[in-house]
């Protein structure tokens, strides 16, 4: 197996000095994630210092470390470990000879990144690399780059931001051949003021495009002109995607399937493809079209991409569907607990309305970083709730107070302060035949509710 990095390569990339020869097969900056053969990057932060965990990292099998203070283990010494990680990421990108895809957007970026990986890895097994989890910030992006094998054919990197200028810095590290904006929504609007400003910030991803690169943008977005205008200054080719027949990649037909997915006939500039999107919801049709556009742009196999989309499982916290056993049958639990903004809330509520169920229950946590529009945008969820014919609503967190006022008298609901209270209420009320959507910003902690329900179901199965 080829080493990911040798100590000499690390020292050359970072400008540091190696204490002894070593080679590593992975990179980590969280000591809890260190595996045998990893490089541990000991970083100093405001609240902790990674050097405190160097011994633990080597006890777990680390083969070397990047440090800014000398340690009694094989290491490369640098003045700034965070800068060293960024330098290592840039070196990984410089030696990579394949195609790189960058993904951003207010919603859908993690799912799109994962679907792209499934599509490209299925066509060329073991030749695709992607950022794990949601490692999409100023630390996660260089980490994901540094982990990229030297001989892979495809690299797919998610990039996020909550302030102007952040994406410009990240995309110049990633240097994508293809850059995707999935959608624009009022996520992080607290820091921008308007969706137009969010669109401008997301469009920064095009600044890092390699010469001859392709920009992929959502045609149906009200901000398509802003995205297109920025793309024109940096991209050699622009592909639009969406439901409109005017989009370069569009769905000529989209028919719901009995299993909750969608049968799609997609038209591309040089091909037409009929495939199934296993993940439910119109938003996943949009994601799939962006995936096809990117696969086409890097010369991938569209038919194999269609197969991957048909078999891609839901992601924990981002649409994973579980059947939980309860007395008399089971319930469908739709786990969207990782993140939420007004656009994604509306999309998942719409899908809940399509589920065949005795009762439709929506457990909705507060949406963060909405600034002065928070009350208005939370109250605005009443319309998609009504459209989905939700039978019961469980509101979690103080942000949901404006929605509670609007819902009063229209649909049965409870408003509780936290995930723990919501868990108790739901466990005592859910029954066979229910379809339960759980969605909220990650900080609300609804993932703990999902875990508690799943644990209770497993305990019930063991009785």
Please state, in angstroms and rounded to a whole number, the distance separating the CA atoms of residues 388 and 259. Answer: 18
pLDDT at 463 over 70: no
Helix (H), strand (E) at residue 335:
strand 329-336
- What is the average per-residue pLDDT within 390-414? 96
pLDDT at 134 over 60: yes
The predicted pLDDT at position 288 comes to 97
Q: Which of 58, 60, 56, 63 is nearest to 23 (CA)?
A: 63
- What is the average per-residue pLDDT within 290-315? 94
Token couple for 435: 């379809």
Gap between the terminal Cα atoms of the chain: 46
pLDDT, tens only, 217-260: 999 999 999 999 999 999 999 999 999 999 999 999 999 888 78
pLDDT at 294 over 50: yes
Q: Check if the beta carbon of residue 157 is closer than 8 Å to that of residue 186.
A: no
Q: Check if the beta carbon of residue 309 is closer than 8 Å to that of residue 286.
A: no
Please state, in angstroms and rounded to a whole number, the distance separating the CA atoms of residues 376 and 253. Answer: 34
pLDDT at 460 over 70: no
**Domains observed in the chain:** 5-80 (3.40.1390.10), 96-311 (3.40.1190.10), 320-462 (3.90.190.20)
The predicted pLDDT at position 100 comes to 98
- Beta pairing, strands 5-6 & 99-104: unpaired
Mean of the per-residue pLDDT values for the chain?
A: 93
- DSSP string of 358-427, one letter each residue: SEEEEEEEPPPS-GGGHHHHHHTTHHHHHHTT-SEEEEESGGGHHHHHHHTTTS-EEEESSHHHHHHHHH
Please state, in angstroms and rounded to a whole number, the distance separating the CA atoms of residues 297 and 178. Answer: 7
DSSP annotation of 188 reads T
The predicted pLDDT at position 258 comes to 81
- What is the average per-residue pLDDT within 204-209? 98
The predicted pLDDT at position 188 comes to 73
Q: Is 455 left (phi over 0), alpha (psi -120 to 50) or beta?
A: alpha
Reported pTM: 0.84
The predicted pLDDT at position 189 comes to 77
pLDDT, tens only, 36-66: 999 999 998 878 899 999 999 999 999 999 9
CA dihedral of 54, 58, 60, 61, whole degrees rounded to 10:
150
pLDDT at 187 over 80: no
Could you give the 3-state DSSP secondary structure of residue 32?
A: helix
Q: What percent of the chain has pLDDT over 70?
A: 98
Q: Is 321 exposed, middle or buried (0-12, 13-18, 19+ CB in 10 A)?
A: middle
The predicted pLDDT at position 458 comes to 64
pLDDT, tens only, 29-38: 999 999 999 9
Helix (H), strand (E) at residue 274:
strand 271-277
Q: Which residue has the higher pLDDT, 387 or 257?
A: 387
Q: Check if the beta carbon of residue 336 is closer than 8 Å to that of residue 348.
A: yes
The predicted pLDDT at position 462 comes to 33
Confidence of residue 456 (pLDDT cuts 50, 70, 90): confident
């Amino acid at each position: 197996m080829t080493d990911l990095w040798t100590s000499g390569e690390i020292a050359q990339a970072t400008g540091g000095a190696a204490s002894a020869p070593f080679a590593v097969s992975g990179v980590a900056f969280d000591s809890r994630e260190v595996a045998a053969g990893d490089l541990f990057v000991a970083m100093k932060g405001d609240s902790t210092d990674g050097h405190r965990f160097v011994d633990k990292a080597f006890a777990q099998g680390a083969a070397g470390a990047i440090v800014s203070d000398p340690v009694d283990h094989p290491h490369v010494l640098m003045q700034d470990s965070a800068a060293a990680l960024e330098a290592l990421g840039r070196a990984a990108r410089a030696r990579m000879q394949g195609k790189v895809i960058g993904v951003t957007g207010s919603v859908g970026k993690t799912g799109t990144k994962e679907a792209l990986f499934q599509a490209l890895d299925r066509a060329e097994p073991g030749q695709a690399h992607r950022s794990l989890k949601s490692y999409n910030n100023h630390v996660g992006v260089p980490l994901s780059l540094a982990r990229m094998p030297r001989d892979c054919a495809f690299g797919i990197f998610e990039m996020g931001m909550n302030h102007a200028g952040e994406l410009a810095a990240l995309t110049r590290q990633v240097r994508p051949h293809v850059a995707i904006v999935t959608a624009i929504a009022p996520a992080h609007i607290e820091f921008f003021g308007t969706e137009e400003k969010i669109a401008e910030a997301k469009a920064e991803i095009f600044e890092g495009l390699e010469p001859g690169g392709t920009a992929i943008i959502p045609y149906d977005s009200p901000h398509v002109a802003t995205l297109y205008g920025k793309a024109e200054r940096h991209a050699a080719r622009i592909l639009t995607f969406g439901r409109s027949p005017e989009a370069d990649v569009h769905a000529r037909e989209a028919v719901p399937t009995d299993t909750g997915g969608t049968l799609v006939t997609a038209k591309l500039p040089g091909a037409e493809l009929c495939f199934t999107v296993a993940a439910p919801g119109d938003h996943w049709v949009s994601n799939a079209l962006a995936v096809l556009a990117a696969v086409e742009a890097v010369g991938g196999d569209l038919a194999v991409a269609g197969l991957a989309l048909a078999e891609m499982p839901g992601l924990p916290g981002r649409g994973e569907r579980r059947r939980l056993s309860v007395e008399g049958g089971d319930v469908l639990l739709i786990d969207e607990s990782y993140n939420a903004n007004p656009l994604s809330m509306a999309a998942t509520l719409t899908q809940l309305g399509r589920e065949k169920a005795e009762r439709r229950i929506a457990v909705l946590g507060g949406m963060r970083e909405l600034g002065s529009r928070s009350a208005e945008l939370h109250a605005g969820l009443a319309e998609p709730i009504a459209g989905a014919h939700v039978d019961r609503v469980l509101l979690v967190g103080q942000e949901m107070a404006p929605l509670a006022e609007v819902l009063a008298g229209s649909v049965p609901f409870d408003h509780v302060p936290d995930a723990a209270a919501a868990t108790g209420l739901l466990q005592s009320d859910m029954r066979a035949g229910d379809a339960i959507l759980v969605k909220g910003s990650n900080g609300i902690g609804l993932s703990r509710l999902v875990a508690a329900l799943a644990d209770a179901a497993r305990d019930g199965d063991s009785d």
